[in-house]
Amino acid sequence: MDQATLRFVIQLGIIGLTFFMLINASAALVLAERKIMGFMQQRYGPYLVGPHGILQPLADILKLLFKEELRPKDADKWLFTLAPIISVTAAFAAFAPVPWGAETTFGGLLDMPVKLGVADVNVAVMVVFAITSMGVYGIVLAGWSSNSKYSLLGGLRSSAQMISYELAYATALASVIMLAGSLSLREVVDAQDGFWFGFIPRWYVFLQPIGFLIYAIAGVAETNRAPFDFPEAEQELVAGYNTEYSSVRFALFPQAEYINMTTMAAVATDLYLGGWHGIPILDQWGLGWLWFLAKVGFILFAYIWIRWTVPRYRYDQLMQFGWKWLFPAAVLNLIATAAFVLYFNA
Amino acid sequence: MIPLGNYLVVSAILFAIGTAGVFLRRNLITILLSIEIMLNAVNLSFVAFGRWQGTVDGQIITFFVMTVAAAEAAVGLAIVIALFRHRESLNPDAFTSLKW
Amino acid sequence: MPDTVLFYVFSAVAVGASLLVIGQRNPMYSIMLLIASFGALSALYIQLDAPFVAMAQIIVYAGAIMVLFLFVVMLLNAPHEDAALWDRTHPLRRPGVSRFGAMLAVLLIVQLVWALLRVSDARAAVGERGDVAELTSVRTVGRVLFTDYMFAFEATSVLILVAMVGAVVLAAREDRR
């Protein structure tokens, strides 16, 4: 096989592997959430299906597949089915520009190194932001097309929350872009290579601690996770925008939520935690992606940790916090970063 | 390589569709959507000309057109909401008080 | 060759979706079709070596302006069946008038296309001049935006502020009990 076809096949393989890993990530997160929730509440969590409950996600998916597909009679036929499709498509597509490993030649198999990641776009940060902002449509259409008051209220509140926290999210992103000087995620990661004083890695989280905090809070709010999950809280709005959904259409919504979490965690790792850099030995052997996985796993654990530790925000508190505290803090962070960059580059 | 004329023809067709929408539809929201189609047609021809010229000026003017379109959509929709509260209707023919 | 095929595919999607937008009775469907049209236009911008504008199109138009339209349509909840009735009883919608109007529109498009294709510059390929690496870099866009077009940039920011204030004032409820 000549180099061109081998390259093509390997790149297809990388795309397939990324997709496969994302699907497995959502399944693993289903189990991880319930086990970690259980351990935090001093109980075991799922325990019976498979050794230590490992096959629980499989059981959940089989159960959902065999349920009856309901659609309310007055629900809008096209939009009712389109909404979960938009949600899950946006969730998967948002991971496409995110790089998860350094360039590698697979130990000399290829002449030219291939980049580990689905696509390397020079405006990758904007692409991720654009596609996550398309995910709002899934929720708002789900709420509207269900033709039910709980769904409509939940959908409107969820989408208003998502578009409000997009501002703080984008401003925190802009601060990192200023430090790195490029919109390409791969270049942002490569700018965090190396060490200060020999042992502190040059991650942007040390240069932008407030920015990282803002990004983390906005990321949690964007994915509608606790403590910002009022619109889908069981005690408040039945189940919010996905009240009327069942079986496969329903299963797509939590899957979209978990994939969004994974994308946010991956982008946070690339922007603030140095991506796959940090352990020189792994970088040398081309195994930086293992360290990347570890960091993403840690952030996902933090997501679940926050959910089961902190009480939920009320909706108006949530919106006030987003507009009155988080967005001004993000703007001040941006101005401070701009001053810092000007001073040290002049 | 695609000739410049192709992009301009697509832009012209989109502009004509937008104009037809503004004239033919009797729903305020659809009229505003047709205006957005027209603005997008213009954006396309700006970017095509900018690329043909080899400069980024086309992209920058498009950036401004998008911003103005956003502002116009916001104000237009606010007006639609105010009108709807008054007359409970989205038909432009229901608002004929200024006609002589 | 694949460039040309992609161009025709995306143009067909953009034009077809726009035609459906103005033909739909339900404004929700119109909005979703317009989002599809914007996506196709964004792909055309990428083909024209303008990735920044393409992503700005998705973020601003498809992601923000259309969400605004969607919210307004949902909150107003105007019955869309009446629009069809008004369409049919409108004096401009009699068959003779509609057909004459459609003929004029087709004539306009034919004239525009004929004029555009006669210009010799219009037959030049679009990707010849200019340095692609420089055009696609956001750094260039930023530099030109903040130097040559600085005044327009500041004026636009004032415009957005005015639009925000205006929208809030116009949509506010009048009765203050």
Q: Which of C62, C70, C137 sits opposite A134 (nearest CB)?
A: C62
Q: Which pLDDT tens digit goes with each residue over C38-91?
A: 999 999 999 998 999 999 999 999 999 999 999 998 888 765 555 556 566 666
> Which residues from chain A sit within 8 angstroms of residue C136, using beta carbons?
122
Q: What is the pLDDT of residues A53-94, one digit of tens each?
A: 888 888 888 888 888 888 888 777 888 889 999 999 999 999
User: Do C22 and C106 belong to one domain?
Assistant: yes
pLDDT of res. A169: 93
Same domain, C101 and C143: no
Chain B residues in contact with C105 (beta carbon < 8 A) = 16, 19-20
At C94 the pLDDT is 65
Highest mean pLDDT among A42-46, A95-99, B3-7: A95-99
pLDDT for position C79: 57
Residues of chain B with pLDDT > 70: what percent?
Answer: 100
Integer Cα distance of C113 and A74 in angstroms: 45
C68 vs B100, higher pLDDT: C68
Region A28-38 average pLDDT: 90
Chain B environment of C140 (Cβ under 8 Å):
56
- Does the structure show a pLDDT above 80 at C126? no
Q: Which pLDDT value is given to residue A218?
A: 93
pLDDT at residue C92, as a whole number = 62
The residues in C 126-155 lying below 8 A from B, measured between CB atoms, are: 126-131, 135, 140-141, 144-145, 148-149, 152
Q: What is the mean pLDDT of residues B76-90?
A: 89
Residue in C with minimal Cα distance to B34: C22
Instruction: Quote the minimal CA–CA distance from C139 to chain B in Å.
Output: 11
Domain span at residue C19 reads 2-131
How high does pLDDT run on average in chain B?
Answer: 90
The helix (H) or strand (E) run that includes residue C162 is helix C150-171
CATH for C57: 1.20.120.1200
Residues 6+ apart with CB under 8 A from B87: B94, B95
* Min Cα–Cα distance to chain C from A66, Å: 31
Domain count across chain C? 2
C-beta atoms of C50 and B40 within 8 A? no
Size of interface A-C (CB pairs under 8 A): 57
The CATH architecture of the domain made up of B4-91 is Orthogonal Bundle (1.10)
Would you call C59 and A130 a contact, using CB atoms and an 8 Å cutoff? yes
Residue with more model confidence, A109 or B74: B74
Q: Which residues of A touch C (CB under 8 A)?
A: 76, 78-79, 82, 121-123, 126-127, 129-131, 133-134, 136-137, 140-141, 144, 152, 156, 159, 163, 183
Beta-carbon separation of C63 and A122 below 8 A: no
> What ipTM goes with this model?
0.91
pLDDT bracket for residue A177 (50, 70, 90): very high
pLDDT of residue C57: 95
C64 to chain A: which residues are within 8 Å by CB?
Answer: 133, 163
Helix axes B4-24, C95-118, angle to 10 degrees: 160
The answer on pLDDT for B10 being more than 80 is yes
Among A94-108, B47-61, C23-37, the least confident range: A94-108
Predicted confidence band at A239 (pLDDT cuts at 50, 70, 90)?
low
Question: Hey, are the CB atoms on C125 and B62 less than 8 Å from each other?
Answer: no
Q: Which residues of chain A does C74 touch, with a Cβ-Cβ cutoff of 8 Å?
A: 140, 144, 152, 156
Q: Does residue A284 register a pLDDT over 90?
A: no
Cα A159 to Cα A241: distance, rounded to the nearest angstrom:
10
Q: CA quadruple A29, A30, A32, A34: dihedral positive or negative?
A: positive
> For residue B26, what pLDDT is reported?
80
Q: Where are the domains of chain B?
A: 4-91
**pLDDT of amino acid B45:** 93
pLDDT per position as a tens digit, A292-313 = 999 999 999 999 999 888 888 8
* Contact check, Cβ <8 Å, C83/B9: no
- Do B and A make contact via 3 or more CB pairs under 8 A? The reply is no
Residue A286 has pLDDT above 80, yes or no: no
So what's the pLDDT on residue A333?
Answer: 95
Q: How far apart are the first and last CA of chain B?
A: 55
Q: How far is CA A3 from CA A9, A17, A102, B37, C33, in A?
A: 10, 20, 20, 46, 42
SS3 for A332? helix
Residues C91 and C72 in one domain: yes
What is the mean pLDDT of the segment spanning A36-41?
90
pLDDT range class, residue A113, cuts 50, 70, 90? confident
- SS percent in chain C: helix, strand, coil, step 5: 80, 0, 20
Residues C110-135 have a mean pLDDT of 77
CB contact under 8 A, B10 and C162: no
Residues of chain B found within 8 Å of residue C173, distances taken between Cβ atoms: 85
Looking at beta carbons, which residues of chain C come within 8 Å of A148?
none
Which chains does C contact via 3+ CB–CB distances below 8 A? A, B
Closest listed residue to residue C83, CA positions, set B29, A180, B54, B50 = B29
Q: Cβ–Cβ of C138/A159 closer than 8 Å? A: no
| Residue from the list B10, B29, B60 with its beta carbon closest to the beta carbon of C141 | B60
- Mean pLDDT over A92-114 rounds to 85
**Shortest distance, CA C86 to any CA of chain A (angstroms):** 23
Q: What is the pLDDT of residue A233?
A: 66
Contact predicate A225/A257, CB 8 Å: yes
Instruction: Count the alpha carbons within 13 Å of A260 in the hemisphere toward its beta carbon.
Output: 29
| Residue in A122, A134, A159 closest to C136 by CB | A122
Enter the tokens of residue B36.
């957005």
What pLDDT is stored for residue A12 in this prediction? 92
pLDDT of residue A172: 93
| CA pair distance C58, B65, nearest whole angstrom | 14
- Domains of chain A, by residue range, sit at 3-345
Residues C114 and C142 in one domain: no
Same domain, C110 and C145: no
Q: Cβ–Cβ of A123/C71 closer than 8 Å? A: no
- Looking at chain C, which residue has its C-alpha nearest residue B49? C126
CA distance A17 to chain C (A): 26
Residue with tokens 């296309």: C113
Record the pTM: 0.90
Q: What is the mean pLDDT of residues A209-237?
A: 82
Which of C5, C65, C87, C89 to probe the B interface (max B CBs under 10 A)?
Answer: C65
Per-residue confidence at A265, pLDDT binned at 50, 70, 90? very high
Is the model's pLDDT at C158 over the cut of 80?
Answer: yes
